[in-house]
Structure 1
Amino acid sequence: MSQLDADCLNEIFGCLEKDKATLYSCLLVNRLWCQVSVRILWKEPNASTKVLNTLIICLPDESKNFLYSNGIILAPNLKSLYASDDYLYIIPSLMKHSDTLIKLSIKGEENHWPLSFIKVFNNLQELNISLSFINEDEDFEYFKDLQHFTFPHLRKLNVNLPTKFEPIVVKFLENNGENLEEFQSRCKCKNSSINRAVNDHCPKLKSLHTIFGENLSGLLLRNIFKKCKKLESIEIFRRGSNLSGKELLKIVAENSPKNFHELKFHNYYAELDVEDLKSFFISWKKRNPQKSLTLNFKNVGSKKNNEMKEIINEYEKIGVIKILKV
């Protein structure tokens, strides 16, 4: 049967279109079988990392080189990796690149595995972890190892985790915040202790994306600006915070570092009026050195009156605001 031509195989394999397991087995028979079955599988691609790796292994060298050169798959000298729920399959191979891997992204929705393997990546520069859990009361002892890891070259950290992991993130920042330049926290919590850890342990931060909960006041934001003297950009999600939009703008104008040039904030625009914006623009114009500000309002709702548009346009024209998105 292995001697059948491509047309015959295509007809036969076409009957197996819904039988993915059998088609995956056909990939491994020989090159012709692989070529025919791949065409059918890619009609409705829904493959795990394990299956994709099998497909790639079966490709001729010419095809692999084409994928490498176009950045579609990673070259043998692995520098970055995105791993979803089934990353457990690739851990043994991944460990071979402990010296060269500089970017690691882990995303999970249902199946979660120990993260202890990442501690060997001493040259890691960027780490992204996004995990969600159906049952947040489940015991996740294995995740606690993360708080003990140290990555001396880490520059970017992005975390999106349930509430119970907030103390672990805080401890991780204590160990790794010294050289961080970019930090994003989308943790499903009030972020009180996380923001305080940023203030205490991240002096070289240039970009901060965080959540301000009900226990966070203007004092902490002032302290962050004071401690993080290299900060250039901040994005704030408001989640029950008593910090008003007017006060937020005042703090940014008066306390942000000299290189600060980008402000993004969510759920504040609706409470601002023309005088609030005008006062902020005047204060920003007086800064020395004066830098154009990228101002980005998120979740603006329906409040877009003509007076506010006029004051915005006025200060755009004179260069106080470089880009304004509403």
Structure 2
Amino acid sequence: MTFQIPIDCLNEIIEYLEEDRHTLYSCLLVNRLWCEISVRILWRNIVYKDIQSFEHDKLFELVDSSILNTLFTCLPNESKGLLYQIEIFISTPISKRPLFNYATFCKALSIFKIKRMVDNVFKFEPSINSLNIKDRNCLVTNELIKMFANQIFSLKKLSYYHYPINFSFPYFPGMRDLSELHCCSCLPSKFFHQLSQLCQNLQSISISFCDGDISNELKELISLQNNLQTLTLKLVAEKSSRDIIPILEKRSNTITKLHLYSNNDNLSYSFVSSFTNLQEFIFSLMGGINIENFNILRYVNFSKLQTLKIPYQCPNPEDIMKFLENNGKNLKKFYIEENYKELHLSIPILCPNLKSLFLLFYKNDLDSLKTILINCQYLESLKIWCGKGYSNEYLPEKEVLEIVANHSSNNFCELKIHNLSNSEVSVDDLESFFLSWRNRIPKKLLSLITIKDNCKCLDDYEENMEIIEKYENLGIVRFRTISYEGDEREEEVSYYYN
């Protein structure tokens, strides 16, 4: 008797594979039902997440071309006819309609990335009619966006930053279910008006502020939100930032995550104190601006704060210490890209309940790392820089492994090592570390992650991988390598520099 998994259960099982695209591709080949479920998941977000560095340009082009060709088969006849009339000929992998209408599965849409995809695929194609290359690519992009607007019945995430002047955002009924919006303040007021009519339950908004006045339609959109929880602000232009802050403050009670990016010297951050229910706060200063502006927050009490991240420029250690005196007791995650001796010594006292930590340690800070690991008994995850950087030498990778194996708490289960220079860990060092971890009581699987930054990591040495695979098979460690984790999103970088 053949056993068949109920469809609801099968859906739930395959959902767990969303981040594992290679396994999802295998599911496509099992049977028609598995294929239908897998295709819907694969096409929720057409951006290929597995490619994370510019060294994969050729793979980018190949994937973009494949996705775009498939989307062209889904274009309505009217769009195909329009493109054909102006001599834009698109090769498609099949002559008849595809098995699925892939556009309808899309849940996350980035206008910038659709445009980038078109530019990528057509960059070597000369224009053979009166249109210049830029206008031709815009026209193709517009037809694709119109198709999404007509066929997506439930869009969850939209990213729409600056775009060529001849782009008109279409009416998009599928945005009624939108929960996450990324945009810039200089978009046409018509777009914000359309959105305010359709979307009043956004949970997350990210805004990059341009020069100039803030439109009343953008203010209305924000003021109409009933359940705004995550707010990301890129405060570049002083006037526009100040115009919108009073509107944001009126929604401060529901907001639990605030991500603040700024390169503005003159902006006061006192408005942050109104967000009394914050659970996550990212405070990122860039471009050499006045870090003294943080001191206005040193006495504010965020009683629910659990995550604090301060990448790039850091405030003065005195301000950070005072902030942690008021807010460190409940912190679970703390991330700061700075080496402060005073902070090293105070972390176990000010933040006794930490579960995840990232600090910078120089090569003579081994005792500080040991003290933190011994005294932070709830610590589960540590991210650390190792090797020689541009201006400083950080902890040696071998010593970090020894200290983690011998002095971390029973709760510890994840180590992220960001290699700034080639790994110098020998096979014997690696095996000694795994043996020490195996002998720990109680036994706990270790997630060992190396972050590659243009240098050789553990996995670049064949003999190291043999040892790693040996202890993976024994259930001692789970190993993976990821590309450098930058905080800038690709479309934000494009917005600032184009």
TM-score (norm 1): 0.75
- Whether 1:178 and 2:302 are equivalent positions in the alignment is no
In the alignment, which residue of structure 2 is the partner of 1:198? 347
- Whether 1:81 and 2:235 are equivalent positions in the alignment is no
CA-atom RMSD in angstroms: 3.3
Distance (Å, rounded) in 2 between the aligned partners of 1:274 and 1:197: 35
In the alignment, which residue of structure 1 is the partner of 2:262? 108
**CA contact under 8 A between 2:204 and 2:229: conserved in structure 1?**
no
* Structure 2 CA distance for partners of 1:121 and 1:191, relative to 1, 3 Å: same
The alpha carbon displacement at 1:52 in A equals 4.7
- Whether 1:63 and 2:187 are equivalent positions in the alignment is no
The alpha carbon displacement at 1:50 in A equals 3.8
Match of 1:237, SS state, is strand
- Whether 1:209 and 2:333 are equivalent positions in the alignment is no
TM alignment of 1:240-319, pairs within 5 A: 240-241=392-393, 243-267=395-419, 270-299=423-452, 301-302=455-456, 304-319=460-475
**CA contact under 8 A between 2:336 and 2:359: conserved in structure 1?**
yes
Compare relative contact order (CA 8 Å, sep 6+) and give the higher one, 1 or 2: 1
String of CA shifts for 1:178-198, please: whole Å, max 9, x gaps: 000011112xx4233333332
**CA contact under 8 A between 1:144 and 1:168: conserved in structure 2?**
yes
In the alignment, which residue of structure 1 is the partner of 2:210? none
* Structure 2 CA distance for partners of 1:176 and 1:266, relative to 1, 3 Å: same
Match of 1:264, SS state, is strand
Distance (Å, rounded) in 2 between the aligned partners of 1:247 and 1:305: 19
Distance (Å, rounded) in 2 between the aligned partners of 1:253 and 1:299: 22
Distance (Å, rounded) in 2 between the aligned partners of 1:179 and 1:70: 24
In the alignment, which residue of structure 1 is the partner of 2:318? 167
Greater CA deviation, 235-244 or 143-152?
Answer: 235-244
Q: 2:369 corresponds to which letter in structure 1?
A: L
* Structure 2 CA distance for partners of 1:42 and 1:314, relative to 1, 3 Å: farther
The alpha carbon displacement at 1:154 in A equals 0.2
Distance (Å, rounded) in 1 between the aligned partners of 2:251 and 2:205: 18
Q: 1:257 corresponds to which letter in structure 2?
A: S
Greater CA deviation, 260-269 or 121-130?
Answer: 260-269
Match of 2:412, SS state, is coil
Match of 1:310, SS state, is helix
String of CA shifts for 1:2-60, please: whole Å, max 9, x gaps: xxxxxxxxxxxxxxx9xxxxxxxxxxxxxxxxxxxx99857299x97544594455227
* Structure 2 CA distance for partners of 1:69 and 1:165, relative to 1, 3 Å: closer
The alpha carbon displacement at 1:116 in A equals 0.9
The alpha carbon displacement at 1:164 in A equals 5.4
Distance (Å, rounded) in 1 between the aligned partners of 2:191 and 2:364: 51
The alpha carbon displacement at 1:108 in A equals 1.3
* Structure 2 CA distance for partners of 1:151 and 1:69, relative to 1, 3 Å: closer
In the alignment, which residue of structure 2 is the partner of 1:323? 479
Match of 2:250, SS state, is helix
- Whether 1:219 and 2:373 are equivalent positions in the alignment is no
TM-score (norm 2): 0.51
Residues paired across the two proteins, number = 282
String of CA shifts for 1:64-95, please: whole Å, max 9, x gaps: 35x84998987333222111114323210111
In the alignment, which residue of structure 2 is the partner of 1:8? none
**CA contact under 8 A between 1:174 and 1:197: conserved in structure 2?**
no
The alpha carbon displacement at 1:310 in A equals 1.3
**CA contact under 8 A between 1:152 and 1:176: conserved in structure 2?**
yes
Distance (Å, rounded) in 1 between the aligned partners of 2:363 and 2:163: 54
String of CA shifts for 1:262-295, please: whole Å, max 9, x gaps: 1011237612101100000000001111111111
In the alignment, which residue of structure 1 is the partner of 2:250? 96
* Structure 2 CA distance for partners of 1:100 and 1:254, relative to 1, 3 Å: same
Unaligned runs of 5+ in 1: 1-16, 18-37
* Structure 2 CA distance for partners of 1:249 and 1:297, relative to 1, 3 Å: same
* Structure 2 CA distance for partners of 1:93 and 1:245, relative to 1, 3 Å: same
Q: 1:101 corresponds to which letter in structure 2?
A: I
Match of 2:377, SS state, is coil
Match of 2:436, SS state, is helix
Distance (Å, rounded) in 1 between the aligned partners of 2:461 and 2:231: 46
Q: 1:83 corresponds to which letter in structure 2?
A: L
In the alignment, which residue of structure 1 is the partner of 2:383? 235
String of CA shifts for 1:174-220, please: whole Å, max 9, x gaps: 2211000011112xx4233333332321111111122112452x221
Which of 116, 128, 131 is the equivalent residue of 2:285? 131
Q: 1:312 corresponds to which letter in structure 2?
A: I
The alpha carbon displacement at 1:309 in A equals 1.8
Match of 1:315, SS state, is helix
**CA contact under 8 A between 2:294 and 2:315: conserved in structure 1?**
no
Distance (Å, rounded) in 2 between the aligned partners of 1:210 and 1:69: 31
In the alignment, which residue of structure 1 is the partner of 2:485? none
* Structure 2 CA distance for partners of 1:91 and 1:182, relative to 1, 3 Å: same
Distance (Å, rounded) in 2 between the aligned partners of 1:158 and 1:42: 39
The alpha carbon displacement at 1:122 in A equals 1.6
**CA contact under 8 A between 2:203 and 2:227: conserved in structure 1?**
no
- Whether 1:143 and 2:306 are equivalent positions in the alignment is no
Match of 1:113, SS state, is coil
Distance (Å, rounded) in 2 between the aligned partners of 1:236 and 1:56: 43
In the alignment, which residue of structure 2 is the partner of 1:31? none
